[in-house]
Structures are given as C-alpha cells and as structure tokens.
Structure 1
Amino acid sequence: MQVYREEGLALDQLMAFAITDDHARQEQVFENLTYNRDPYIIRRELTRTHIAANDRRAIFIGAEAYMGAGGAILRDLFTEDRGGFYEDAALLDRLVIEKLEGISETVKQAEGWKWADVHIDYPHANGLRRTYPQPVDLSEEDKAAYAMASDEFNRLTEEWDSAEELPDDVDQRFGRLEAEIERIDALRHAFDPDVVARGGVFVVLAHDGTARIERGFIRAEDEQAGPEAETRSDGEDYAVNDDCEIIEDGSGSDSDGGSDEEAEDDGKPLSDLLIRDLTAHRTLGLRLALGEQSDIALFAVTHTLAAQTFYQGTEAHCLEIRPTSVYLAGHADGIEDTAAGKALADRHAEWAADMPRDVGDLWGFIASLDHASVMALFAHCASLTINAVKQPWERKPRAHETANRLAAAVNLDMTAHWTPTVRTYLGRITKAHILDAVREAASEEAAERLSDLKKQPMAEAAEQLLAGTGWLPVVLRAEQLVMSAERQDEAADAGSADVAELGPKPAQPETAEEDVAFNVAAE
C-alpha cells in the first residue's frame, strides 16, 4: 500500500497482489519483479507453486472436501480466477488417491475382479494383456423390460415432439426411461467369469476430472496357456490349427515334403508336394477372381485387418497384409491421456466388445454387418496403421507428403486436439520462436512486452496470450493443396474419388481481377 501511495504501483498491479495475504510472499515477488509489472505476471508469480481450480485433480476432489481436509485456496479479489488456486499439491494428490482407492474397492467387490490398482495417470506401459467383454444374450425378463421402456420412450417422444419445454414430470420420466435403456444395453456385453476371476482393473483420473475405470487386464502370473501355442512335455513346440489338428514345428516345409509316390506308402490321399502345387493354382485363381470383385476385396481386407487388430497369436487370415501400429506414447509423453487419445481408446474398446470370442467366427460376424458397419470397421482398423511421425534420421519426403494429402482429405483441424502450452510446446522452443508465435497470434505489441523476459516466464505468459486464439505451429496447420487447371480437369474426368485424393479444390474466381490471380496461383 505504501508503494502504491508513492506511485510505485498502479491500481491494477496492487489488486493483483491481493490474490494472497502472505506478506512475505508478496514482498518476495515484488523484489524480483522486472520493469514488466503486468498484473498477470504478478498473479502468476504469486501462484506458481499452486494448482488451479480447473485442474483435473481439483475438479475430482472439489473445494469443500479439500478445505475439509485442511487445505487452503487462494482467491483473487479483483479478477476472475476460475475458482482460485489450491495451495497444497501434496494434500490434493493424497485425496485423489484415497478417493480412487475407494472407487476401485467398490468396483472390485461388486464385479468380482481379482485385483484393482489406482493411478492418477493411466499406466500405459503396464505390459499386461487386455481382454474385452463379449456379446451375451439378454434374459427374457430384460428383453421384455427393454421393449417396454423403448416403446414408452418412443411414445413420449412422439407425443411431446413439438413442445418447446417439457413439464417436470415428463422430463423426469424421460430420464428414468433413458437410464433403464442404458442399464439393459450395458448387459449385452459381459466379461467371461474366468477372465474376471484372473483379471483386474485400473482406476485412474481422466482428463476431465472424473474416475476412469479400465477393465480386463491379465497379469503374467495369471495367464493360462491358450490353444494357439502350447509346449509339449517333451519340449517340442506345436500349435493347434482351426480344425484342432496338431501341427509340429517345421511341418509342411519345402525340403521334406515327400514325393507323390510316397503318398501311397504313407496312406495319405495326396502328397505334400502335390497339395502345395494344387493350392498354388487355387491361390492364383483367388487372386484373379478377387481382383474383379471390389466389394468382396473390401470385405476380405477388413477381415484381415480385424483378425490381427483384435486377436493375438492367430493366423486366421489368408491375405498377407500386415498392419503395424507405432506406439505414439514413445514419441509424445502423455499423448494417450488427452481427450483425443481417450476417444480413440473408447472407439477401439467398442469394436473389441463386439468381436466374437473365437477368431474363427470373425468372417461370419463381418458378413452379418451392413455395408456402413463394414466400412466403419475397415476405417477403424486402417486408421490404427497411420504413421505420420517424423523421425530425425528418416528421409521419407513422399510418405510425409501423402500424410499431408490425407490430412487435407479428412479436413483435419488440430485446434480440436492440441493447444500450445508450456509443457507441450512453448517450453521446448527458443525465445525467438515464442515471440514469433505471440506476434502472429496476438500482436506486435504483445510480443514486444515479452521480449525482455527470461525463457520460463516468457513461455508462461505466451501460453495465456495464445489461449483461445486457435494458433498452431506450421507443422500442425492444415495444408491447402492447390491443383493446377490441368489437374482439375483430370480430376473432374476421373470422378469424385480422385478429387478427394488430389485435395480440396480452390474457390473459383468471380471477377476479372480474381481470374488473373487465380490463374497465376494455379500456374
């Protein structure tokens, strides 16, 4: 207050210091201030060791429970602080773990899992095999309840379709019906009791401050030898094929196939060499036929991708297409805990829950899907094979060019999946790059105000200035692929599919001046 009276602080700067009543901390921050005394810098320095109220941990616990455990919350008297700042990070973490443990114990007891483990962050490198629930038939009672709830819901929907606002009793009725329908829908998939008896769950804190329950993990000591690959008592490896026939390791090799004449002596109907010869001709016939039936080709490729995506250790496909999926968490820390990572995991889990238990039933399952569902499954499996990661030692300009074309074709907007923060970007680039970003997203004046700050304060201030602007680094921006006039004519002749491959078509000129500029750009 004395400094303010002496005109050493402006009113908004003085108000910023009121975020805390710790005078020692106020004096410490004041003494370390540079000539740049913007209020947001003062608030940031005073709350550097605290956790914002919009942090997922704070959302999960809530202010009342945190303060009830002895924690304190700093609040700004003069500006919107979005709920204040939680002072005791250690206490908050302990409360999160304790609450997650309570949820995990409830899930474990209610569902019968062998173990339950809790983490604030999802343990991606857990090394455990994961299983998913399988489709099961509803009981007659549940079927009847589902039909009754659906009929009532549809009747109410039709009755109140034109109403601008629902009466309270009708709205509550809708809520009860929706809850009943969701409850019964959840019963359509269930884990095998043996899996539950041997498996466990992870209970973690989701990105939005809710408890995230991931089920169906099997530890190595709880694994059971499956039929696909076992070990005989004499130490030799063997496998069991789809017809439950034991195939010795190395059987069917080219060197020891035997001759046609040996078949009669061995009591075999045909020799291995002749079978190989005949099946080679059959393979040639299949290649010729499949190449002429695009719908069946799509079906077969979908089966091949799904068999390797959702089933481990099986060779149930005859198309030699090998999908690979790069582990993105090895390239970007925490990427799988983002909203986009959770959305992809949820989509995969939904498909996994629909897969038949036996891979031998996969062909029939896909055959039972409508065309749109087959296309959706194909798209999901294909999407997992995308690798647009740029490694410093790699030289794949054509592959990255294709990734750019793919991004344009799907209208990828990375502002929905990524924001520049100190952790994700600003703390990992030079001061010059930070200022360029602020200059481009905000203004030249904003960049000038930050120019004399040290790296960390500059990055933190830039994060606030870039928030909500939609700014992206060049590598994440949508690339507009411009076609020449000649290529546009070729695309039009080839059809809409080729247009999508080439990229979005630029807007057509409406005036003579625009026409000149358009032609220059095209050239």
Structure 2
Amino acid sequence: MSRMIPVVFDGHYERQYPAHAIGVGLSTSRDALVKHADDMADSVAWKELEAERAKWARMLPALADALLPWLLDQGSDIQSNLFAFCVAATVDGIDGSDRAHAVNSLADVLNVDLSYYWKPTRASYFDHVSKSRIADVLREHVSPQAAAEVQRMKKDAAAAAAEVRMAGSGWLPEVLANRTVPEFRSYAWEDDDTDGDADDEARNAGDDPDDMSGETGDATGDDEGLAEAA
C-alpha cells in the first residue's frame, strides 16, 4: 500500500519520487474523468469519493518516505479501509467506443444502481446530443406529445425542457444501462511436437517406439479377439 498511496494521492505527494522496492504498478482515472465529464463536480459519486479522499489526505504523513513506517503503526481497520479506497481509485470505466466494458462485471457483482449516481440533465446528456435524439428519448419515456413539443424548440430550449421532463425518471442512456461484460477468452500454446513427446515417453519406459513386435503383437492379437467377441 505504501507503493499505491503516492499514485492515488498524487496531489498530496506532488513532485515527490521516493525510491521503492515493491514492483507494483497502477494508475487512476481521476484526471481523465474530469477531462471527459464537465459536470463531474456535481456528481453524487464524485462528491462522495472526493470527501473520502480529503479525509485520508488529512491523515497521511506529508512525506512519502514516511508512508511505510506510518502504515505499520496503524491498526487493521485503517489499513484495510485505506487499501479499499486506493483500489477503488484504480477502477477505470472510460472507453472511447460503445462496446461491452469490463467495469460492468464489477457493477453487476456489487449490484450498483447507476441511476442513483447519474441523472439525465443538460450538462450530463442533453446538451451533448442532437435535438432529434432528445425527441426520441422523450417519445419513448414521456410521451409523443412531449417529443413533438421539443421538435419545435431551439436546441438550448429543447435540452432545458428535456431535463425538466426527465427529472426523477431514473432513465439511463444505453452506455450506462447496458451491463454486458466482454466475452472471456483464454489462450494456450499447442505443442506441435506431440509425436516426439510420445517417443520420449516410450524410450523412458524402456520401449522402442519403432519396434512393433513382441508384446505389442500379442496386444494386437488380443484386440482382434475382443473385436470378434464383440
């Protein structure tokens, strides 16, 4: 954890680069989230995470070199909870394409209700899509009349009207509602020299793989007798 903390709390340990003997690598998505979502500061999840971050930052020593001794002095409760926060900070659900994402497996296991953390507002959605898309959402989740009304509005007014109409609906766009996880794939190397391995095993057993006489012949005869009996 002494290796994780300076990465997760990079602002707290800005421009400190302590030597380390633990080969653990990790990254966080905090900066990327802020970059990709201009409404992040108003997010319920963001506020909860930042409050938790501030709480831990007040407890951490100022110098990264003091982290390991400090951690060793802490009780298991602080250690386990701080570790959980650091692990949570590495979760990355950002993807530039519309496809199944591995983060969905976590959401499913933890039974995360994304409608609690995300609301359909102008800043979070309607300002970023076309007026026809706004109309489609309202037609499906409010009424055809609501869709017809926004079609006659300018884009800004349509986005504002959609935010009001969809408030408290619990609606999620497909990218959040689709909890499909990527197909699991496994790969294994195949040994092309299987005959060579069989020869090696035969030699190790004291048999010559090229000698088909002797007991091998008797076994063949037995097989023929079994075939006739069958």
3-state SS of the aligned residue for 1:345?
Answer: helix
Alignment counterpart, residue 27 of structure 2, candidates 324, 346, 353? 324
Q: TM-score scaled to structure 2, two decimals?
A: 0.64
Verify the 8 A CA contact 2:5 2:86 in the aligned structure 1. Answer: yes
What does residue range 75-474 of structure 1 map to in structure 2 within 5 Å? 302-310=1-9, 311-312=13-14, 313-326=16-29, 327=31, 328-391=33-96, 401-474=101-174
Aligned position for 2:212: none
Partners in 2 of 1:438 and 1:324 — Cα distance?
39
Partners in 1 of 2:122 and 2:51 — Cα distance?
28
3-state SS of the aligned residue for 2:102?
Answer: helix
Partners in 2 of 1:352 and 1:366 — Cα distance?
13
1:282-308 CA-to-partner distances (Å, cap 9, x unmatched) read xxxxxxxxxxxxxxxxxxxx2220244
Aligned position for 2:199: none
Residue 370 and residue 443 in structure 1: after superposition, are their counterparts in 2 closer, same or farther (change >3 A)?
farther
Question: Could you list the runs of 4 or more consecutive aligned residues of structure 1 that deviate by over 4 angstroms after TM superposition?
Answer: none
Aligned position for 1:75: none
3-state SS of the aligned residue for 2:153?
Answer: coil
3-state SS of the aligned residue for 2:17?
Answer: coil
Partners in 1 of 2:71 and 2:52 — Cα distance?
17
Name the count of aligned residue pairs.
176
Verify the 8 A CA contact 2:7 2:27 in the aligned structure 1. Answer: no
1:140-197 CA-to-partner distances (Å, cap 9, x unmatched) read xxxxxxxxxxxxxxxxxxxxxxxxxxxxxxxxxxxxxxxxxxxxxxxxxxxxxxxxxx
Range 322-331 or range 334-343, more displaced: 334-343
Identity %: 30
Verify the 8 A CA contact 2:122 2:163 in the aligned structure 1. Answer: yes
What does residue range 475-514 of structure 1 map to in structure 2 within 5 Å? 475-477=175-177, 479=179
What does residue range 8-27 of structure 1 map to in structure 2 within 5 Å? none
Verify the 8 A CA contact 1:413 1:478 in the aligned structure 2. Answer: no
1:371-394 CA-to-partner distances (Å, cap 9, x unmatched) read 3432221121122222222236xx
Partners in 2 of 1:306 and 1:432 — Cα distance?
46
Shift of 1:470: 1.0
Between Structure 1 and Structure 2, the one with more strand by share is 1
Residue 438 and residue 366 in structure 1: after superposition, are their counterparts in 2 closer, same or farther (change >3 A)?
same
List runs of 5+ in structure 2 lacking aligned partners. 182-230
Partners in 1 of 2:94 and 2:80 — Cα distance?
26
Residue 407 and residue 356 in structure 1: after superposition, are their counterparts in 2 closer, same or farther (change >3 A)?
same
3-state SS of the aligned residue for 2:61?
Answer: coil
Aligned position for 1:486: none
Partners in 1 of 2:177 and 2:131 — Cα distance?
21
CA RMSD of aligned residues (A): 2.8
Higher relative contact order (CA 8 A, sep 6+): 2
Letter of the 1:414 counterpart: L
Shift of 1:480: 6.5
Letter of the 1:348 counterpart: R
Partners in 2 of 1:349 and 1:316 — Cα distance?
25
